[in-house]
Structure 1
Protein backbone atom coordinates (compact mmCIF):
# COMPACT_ATOMS: atom_id res chain seq x y z
CA UNK A 1 0.00 0.00 0.00
CA UNK A 2 1.28 3.18 -0.98
CA UNK A 3 0.21 6.57 0.12
CA UNK A 4 0.09 9.03 -2.62
CA UNK A 5 0.23 12.71 -2.09
CA UNK A 6 -2.62 14.44 -3.84
CA UNK A 7 -2.02 16.96 -6.48
CA UNK A 8 -1.67 20.48 -4.99
CA UNK A 9 -3.72 21.98 -7.80
CA UNK A 10 -6.49 19.54 -7.09
CA UNK A 11 -6.36 20.40 -3.41
CA UNK A 12 -6.45 24.08 -4.26
CA UNK A 13 -9.42 23.51 -6.58
CA UNK A 14 -11.30 21.55 -3.86
CA UNK A 15 -10.52 24.31 -1.37
CA UNK A 16 -11.76 27.02 -3.78
CA UNK A 17 -14.94 25.03 -4.52
CA UNK A 18 -15.46 24.56 -0.79
CA UNK A 19 -15.05 28.30 -0.12
CA UNK A 20 -17.37 29.20 -3.02
CA UNK A 21 -19.93 26.67 -1.76
CA UNK A 22 -19.72 28.12 1.75
CA UNK A 23 -20.11 31.69 0.42
CA UNK A 24 -23.08 30.71 -1.71
CA UNK A 25 -24.69 28.78 1.15
CA UNK A 26 -24.07 31.75 3.43
CA UNK A 27 -25.68 34.24 1.05
CA UNK A 28 -28.52 32.02 -0.23
CA UNK A 29 -29.37 29.89 2.82
CA UNK A 30 -27.83 30.94 6.11
CA UNK A 31 -28.40 34.73 5.96
CA UNK A 32 -32.09 34.42 4.89
CA UNK A 33 -32.63 31.66 7.48
CA UNK A 34 -30.99 33.70 10.25
CA UNK A 35 -32.91 36.81 9.10
CA UNK A 36 -36.16 34.84 9.17
CA UNK A 37 -35.32 33.53 12.67
CA UNK A 38 -34.50 37.06 13.89
CA UNK A 39 -37.70 38.41 12.38
CA UNK A 40 -39.70 35.61 14.02
CA UNK A 41 -38.02 36.26 17.37
CA UNK A 42 -38.83 39.98 17.08
CA UNK A 43 -42.41 39.13 16.15
CA UNK A 44 -42.72 36.79 19.15
CA UNK A 45 -41.23 39.44 21.44
CA UNK A 46 -43.73 42.04 20.15
CA UNK A 47 -46.59 39.57 20.58
CA UNK A 48 -45.42 38.80 24.12
CA UNK A 49 -45.22 42.51 24.96
CA UNK A 50 -48.67 43.02 23.45
CA UNK A 51 -50.02 40.12 25.49
CA UNK A 52 -48.48 41.57 28.67
CA UNK A 53 -49.95 44.97 27.82
CA UNK A 54 -53.34 43.36 27.19
CA UNK A 55 -53.04 41.48 30.49
CA UNK A 56 -52.34 44.76 32.29
CA UNK A 57 -55.35 46.35 30.59
CA UNK A 58 -57.51 43.39 31.61
CA UNK A 59 -56.34 43.75 35.21
CA UNK A 60 -57.12 47.48 35.15
CA UNK A 61 -60.57 46.79 33.72
CA UNK A 62 -61.19 44.12 36.37
CA UNK A 63 -60.19 46.59 39.07
CA UNK A 64 -62.62 49.13 37.61
CA UNK A 65 -65.34 46.47 37.54
CA UNK A 66 -64.64 45.58 41.18
CA UNK A 67 -64.81 49.26 42.11
CA UNK A 68 -68.09 49.67 40.23
CA UNK A 69 -69.53 46.57 41.93
CA UNK A 70 -68.41 47.81 45.35
CA UNK A 71 -69.99 51.19 44.64
CA UNK A 72 -73.18 49.51 43.40
CA UNK A 73 -73.32 47.35 46.55
CA UNK A 74 -72.84 50.43 48.72
CA UNK A 75 -75.57 52.28 46.84
CA UNK A 76 -77.89 49.28 47.04
CA UNK A 77 -77.24 48.99 50.76
CA UNK A 78 -77.90 52.70 51.19
CA UNK A 79 -81.12 52.49 49.16
CA UNK A 80 -82.29 49.46 51.13
CA UNK A 81 -81.47 51.17 54.41
CA UNK A 82 -83.28 54.38 53.45
CA UNK A 83 -86.27 52.39 52.16
CA UNK A 84 -86.35 50.41 55.40
CA UNK A 85 -86.22 53.58 57.49
CA UNK A 86 -88.91 55.18 55.34
CA UNK A 87 -91.13 52.09 55.55
CA UNK A 88 -90.63 51.90 59.32
CA UNK A 89 -91.51 55.57 59.69
CA UNK A 90 -94.62 55.06 57.56
CA UNK A 91 -95.52 51.96 59.58
CA UNK A 92 -95.04 53.83 62.88
CA UNK A 93 -97.15 56.71 61.56
CA UNK A 94 -99.96 54.38 60.51
CA UNK A 95 -99.77 52.49 63.81
CA UNK A 96 -99.95 55.72 65.77
CA UNK A 97 -102.88 56.88 63.66
CA UNK A 98 -104.67 53.57 64.23
CA UNK A 99 -103.81 53.66 67.95
CA UNK A 100 -105.22 57.18 68.21
CA UNK A 101 -108.32 56.13 66.29
CA UNK A 102 -108.81 53.09 68.53
CA UNK A 103 -108.18 55.20 71.64
CA UNK A 104 -110.77 57.70 70.37
CA UNK A 105 -113.26 54.87 69.86
CA UNK A 106 -112.53 53.51 73.34
CA UNK A 107 -112.96 56.95 74.88
CA UNK A 108 -116.21 57.44 72.94
CA UNK A 109 -117.41 53.99 74.00
CA UNK A 110 -116.52 54.71 77.65
CA UNK A 111 -118.31 58.06 77.53
CA UNK A 112 -121.34 56.42 75.94
CA UNK A 113 -121.22 53.64 78.55
CA UNK A 114 -120.95 56.19 81.35
CA UNK A 115 -123.96 58.04 79.92
CA UNK A 116 -125.91 54.78 79.72
CA UNK A 117 -124.88 53.94 83.29
CA UNK A 118 -126.01 57.35 84.55
CA UNK A 119 -129.23 57.06 82.57
CA UNK A 120 -129.92 53.55 83.95
CA UNK A 121 -129.12 54.81 87.46
CA UNK A 122 -131.52 57.72 87.07
CA UNK A 123 -134.21 55.40 85.71
CA UNK A 124 -133.69 53.06 88.67
CA UNK A 125 -133.80 55.97 91.10
CA UNK A 126 -136.94 57.22 89.39
CA UNK A 127 -138.52 53.77 89.70
CA UNK A 128 -137.20 53.24 93.25
CA UNK A 129 -140.60 53.82 94.78
CA UNK A 130 -142.16 51.15 92.54
CA UNK A 131 -139.42 48.68 93.49
CA UNK A 132 -139.85 49.41 97.20
CA UNK A 133 -143.56 48.73 97.09
CA UNK A 134 -143.07 45.57 95.03
CA UNK A 135 -140.42 44.40 97.48
CA UNK A 136 -142.64 45.10 100.50
CA UNK A 137 -145.50 43.22 98.93
CA UNK A 138 -143.29 40.22 98.20
CA UNK A 139 -141.91 40.25 101.75
CA UNK A 140 -145.45 40.36 103.14
CA UNK A 141 -146.45 37.41 101.04
CA UNK A 142 -143.70 35.32 102.53
Structure 2
Protein backbone atom coordinates (compact mmCIF):
# COMPACT_ATOMS: atom_id res chain seq x y z
CA UNK A 1 0.00 0.00 0.00
CA UNK A 2 1.16 3.32 -0.88
CA UNK A 3 1.02 6.22 1.35
CA UNK A 4 -0.58 9.32 -0.11
CA UNK A 5 -0.33 12.35 2.12
CA UNK A 6 -3.08 14.21 0.29
CA UNK A 7 -5.61 11.50 0.86
CA UNK A 8 -4.60 11.39 4.53
CA UNK A 9 -5.09 15.13 4.85
CA UNK A 10 -8.43 14.93 3.01
CA UNK A 11 -9.49 12.09 5.28
CA UNK A 12 -8.51 14.06 8.37
CA UNK A 13 -10.32 17.17 7.10
CA UNK A 14 -13.37 15.05 6.20
CA UNK A 15 -13.30 13.43 9.60
CA UNK A 16 -13.09 16.83 11.34
CA UNK A 17 -15.92 18.20 9.17
CA UNK A 18 -17.99 15.13 9.85
CA UNK A 19 -17.26 15.42 13.57
CA UNK A 20 -18.24 19.11 13.61
CA UNK A 21 -21.41 18.41 11.64
CA UNK A 22 -22.32 15.49 13.88
CA UNK A 23 -21.50 17.53 16.97
CA UNK A 24 -23.72 20.37 15.81
CA UNK A 25 -26.68 18.45 14.42
CA UNK A 26 -26.49 14.95 15.98
CA UNK A 27 -24.42 14.85 19.19
CA UNK A 28 -25.83 18.10 20.63
CA UNK A 29 -29.50 17.06 20.36
CA UNK A 30 -28.60 13.47 21.29
CA UNK A 31 -26.73 14.60 24.39
CA UNK A 32 -29.59 17.00 25.18
CA UNK A 33 -32.11 14.11 24.98
CA UNK A 34 -29.83 11.94 27.09
CA UNK A 35 -29.49 14.73 29.66
CA UNK A 36 -33.27 15.16 29.79
CA UNK A 37 -33.62 11.39 30.19
CA UNK A 38 -31.02 11.45 32.99
CA UNK A 39 -32.92 14.28 34.75
CA UNK A 40 -36.21 12.39 34.34
CA UNK A 41 -34.67 9.23 35.82
CA UNK A 42 -33.21 11.21 38.73
CA UNK A 43 -36.60 12.81 39.38
CA UNK A 44 -38.29 9.42 39.23
CA UNK A 45 -35.72 7.98 41.62
CA UNK A 46 -36.24 10.90 44.02
CA UNK A 47 -40.02 10.50 43.70
CA UNK A 48 -39.69 6.76 44.30
CA UNK A 49 -37.49 7.40 47.35
CA UNK A 50 -39.96 9.91 48.80
CA UNK A 51 -42.84 7.51 48.05
CA UNK A 52 -40.94 4.73 49.81
CA UNK A 53 -40.38 6.97 52.83
CA UNK A 54 -44.05 7.95 52.87
CA UNK A 55 -45.00 4.28 52.59
CA UNK A 56 -42.72 3.45 55.52
CA UNK A 57 -44.21 6.29 57.56
CA UNK A 58 -47.70 5.16 56.63
CA UNK A 59 -46.79 1.60 57.59
CA UNK A 60 -45.48 2.80 60.94
CA UNK A 61 -48.66 4.81 61.50
CA UNK A 62 -50.77 1.79 60.60
CA UNK A 63 -48.76 -0.39 62.98
CA UNK A 64 -49.20 2.18 65.73
CA UNK A 65 -52.94 2.40 65.00
CA UNK A 66 -53.19 -1.39 65.01
CA UNK A 67 -51.32 -1.59 68.31
CA UNK A 68 -53.62 1.07 69.74
CA UNK A 69 -56.67 -0.82 68.48
CA UNK A 70 -55.36 -4.02 70.07
CA UNK A 71 -54.81 -2.23 73.37
CA UNK A 72 -58.32 -0.78 73.23
CA UNK A 73 -59.78 -4.20 72.38
CA UNK A 74 -57.88 -5.74 75.29
CA UNK A 75 -59.14 -2.97 77.56
CA UNK A 76 -62.71 -3.55 76.40
CA UNK A 77 -62.35 -7.29 77.03
CA UNK A 78 -60.95 -6.69 80.50
CA UNK A 79 -63.74 -4.25 81.26
CA UNK A 80 -66.32 -6.78 80.02
CA UNK A 81 -64.77 -9.49 82.19
CA UNK A 82 -64.76 -7.19 85.19
CA UNK A 83 -68.35 -6.14 84.58
CA UNK A 84 -69.51 -9.72 84.15
CA UNK A 85 -67.71 -10.75 87.34
CA UNK A 86 -69.32 -7.91 89.25
CA UNK A 87 -72.75 -8.78 87.86
CA UNK A 88 -72.26 -12.44 88.73
CA UNK A 89 -71.28 -11.49 92.28
CA UNK A 90 -74.29 -9.18 92.54
CA UNK A 91 -76.61 -11.94 91.30
CA UNK A 92 -75.14 -14.45 93.77
CA UNK A 93 -75.40 -11.92 96.61
CA UNK A 94 -78.99 -11.09 95.67
CA UNK A 95 -79.84 -14.81 95.60
CA UNK A 96 -78.22 -15.32 99.02
CA UNK A 97 -80.11 -12.35 100.44
CA UNK A 98 -83.38 -13.68 99.03
CA UNK A 99 -82.66 -17.17 100.41
CA UNK A 100 -81.88 -15.70 103.84
CA UNK A 101 -85.07 -13.64 103.71
CA UNK A 102 -87.14 -16.70 102.75
CA UNK A 103 -85.46 -18.76 105.48
CA UNK A 104 -86.17 -16.09 108.10
CA UNK A 105 -89.78 -15.84 106.93
CA UNK A 106 -90.15 -19.63 107.09
CA UNK A 107 -88.65 -19.71 110.60
CA UNK A 108 -91.04 -16.96 111.70
CA UNK A 109 -93.96 -18.90 110.20
CA UNK A 110 -92.84 -22.07 111.96
CA UNK A 111 -92.47 -20.23 115.26
CA UNK A 112 -95.89 -18.62 114.80
CA UNK A 113 -97.54 -21.96 114.01
CA UNK A 114 -95.75 -23.54 116.97
CA UNK A 115 -97.02 -20.82 119.28
CA UNK A 116 -100.54 -21.22 117.87
CA UNK A 117 -100.35 -24.97 118.40
CA UNK A 118 -99.11 -24.50 121.98
CA UNK A 119 -101.87 -21.98 122.65
CA UNK A 120 -104.44 -24.31 121.16
CA UNK A 121 -103.06 -27.20 123.19
CA UNK A 122 -103.14 -25.12 126.37
CA UNK A 123 -106.71 -24.12 125.64
CA UNK A 124 -107.65 -27.72 125.00
CA UNK A 125 -105.76 -28.95 128.10
CA UNK A 126 -107.44 -26.23 130.12
CA UNK A 127 -110.83 -27.32 128.78
CA UNK A 128 -110.07 -30.95 129.48
CA UNK A 129 -108.88 -30.05 132.98
CA UNK A 130 -112.13 -28.26 133.60
CA UNK A 131 -114.06 -31.28 132.31
CA UNK A 132 -112.03 -33.62 134.49
CA UNK A 133 -112.56 -31.40 137.50
CA UNK A 134 -116.28 -31.18 136.85
CA UNK A 135 -116.53 -34.94 136.44
CA UNK A 136 -114.52 -35.48 139.60
CA UNK A 137 -116.78 -33.10 141.47
CA UNK A 138 -119.82 -34.80 140.07
CA UNK A 139 -118.66 -38.27 140.92
CA UNK A 140 -116.55 -37.79 144.02
CA UNK A 141 -114.67 -40.94 143.27
CA UNK A 142 -111.80 -42.60 144.96
CA UNK A 143 -108.19 -42.23 143.93
CA UNK A 144 -108.11 -45.24 141.64
CA UNK A 145 -111.19 -44.11 139.72
CA UNK A 146 -109.68 -40.65 139.43
CA UNK A 147 -106.50 -42.10 137.85
CA UNK A 148 -108.56 -44.10 135.37
CA UNK A 149 -110.54 -41.00 134.50
CA UNK A 150 -107.34 -38.98 133.93
CA UNK A 151 -105.85 -41.78 131.79
CA UNK A 152 -109.03 -41.93 129.72
CA UNK A 153 -108.93 -38.18 129.03
CA UNK A 154 -105.24 -38.33 128.18
CA UNK A 155 -105.99 -41.08 125.66
CA UNK A 156 -108.71 -38.90 124.18
CA UNK A 157 -106.29 -35.97 123.90
CA UNK A 158 -103.66 -38.25 122.33
CA UNK A 159 -106.12 -39.53 119.71
CA UNK A 160 -107.14 -36.03 118.68
Superposed, 1:42-121 pairs within 5 Å as 42-121=39-118
**Which 10-residue stretch deviates more, 36-45 or 55-64?**
36-45
User: How much does 1:67 deviate?
Assistant: 1.1
Take 1:136 and 1:51, find their aligned partners in 2: how far apart are those partners? 115
Structure 2 gap segments, 5+ residues each:
130-149
Secondary structure of residue in 2 paired with 1:43: helix
**Number of equivalenced pairs:** 134
Take 2:32 and 2:45, find their aligned partners in 1: how far apart are those partners? 20
CA offsets per residue over residues 43-76 of structure 1, 9 Å max, x none?
Answer: 1122112111111111111111111221222222
Superposition TM-score, scaled by structure 2 size: 0.67
CA RMSD of aligned residues (A): 2.8
In the alignment, which residue of structure 2 is the partner of 1:133?
152
Superposition TM-score, scaled by structure 1 size: 0.74
- Could you say if the C-alpha distance between residues 19 and 136 of structure 1 is closer, same or farther in structure 2, counting changes exceeding 3 Å? closer
Larger of the two Rg values belongs to structure:
2
Looking at both structures, which has the greater relative contact order when contacts are Cα pairs under 8 Å and sequence separation is at least 6? Answer: 2
